[in-house]
Structure 1
Amino acid sequence: MRAGGFWSAYARVYDTIWDSPLTGELARCVHALLPGSGVVVDLGCGTGLMARGVGARVVGVDSEPAMLDRALREGRIEEGRHALAEASGLPDACAQAVLVCNVLHFHPNPAAVVAEARRLCTKGAILVLTWPVPGLDTDDLLRWDRIHGRDRLDAWWAHLLRSSIGIRSAVTRAVTVSAPDSSALIDADDVVLSDGVVAGCQHLLALRV
Structure 2
Amino acid sequence: MRIIIIPFIVLATAVTFLQASLCGEGFLTIKKTINNYNITECNCKCTMQDNIFYIQSKRNPSIFHQINGVSILSENVDKLNININPSMNYFLSNKKPCGTNEVNQFQKVDLFIFTLIPGNSGYCYDLSGYFDKDENITSINNLVYKKIGIIKRNKQPLFKAPNRSSKTKMYLIKGDKVEVLEEKDNWLHILYRGKKDIKAWIPKCAVREE
- Smaller-chain TM-score range? under 0.3
TM-score, structure 1 as length reference:
0.24
Higher RCO, Cα 8 Å, sep 6+: 1
Higher helix share: 1
Greater strand content = 2
Determine which structure has more spread, i.e. the larger CA radius of gyration: 2
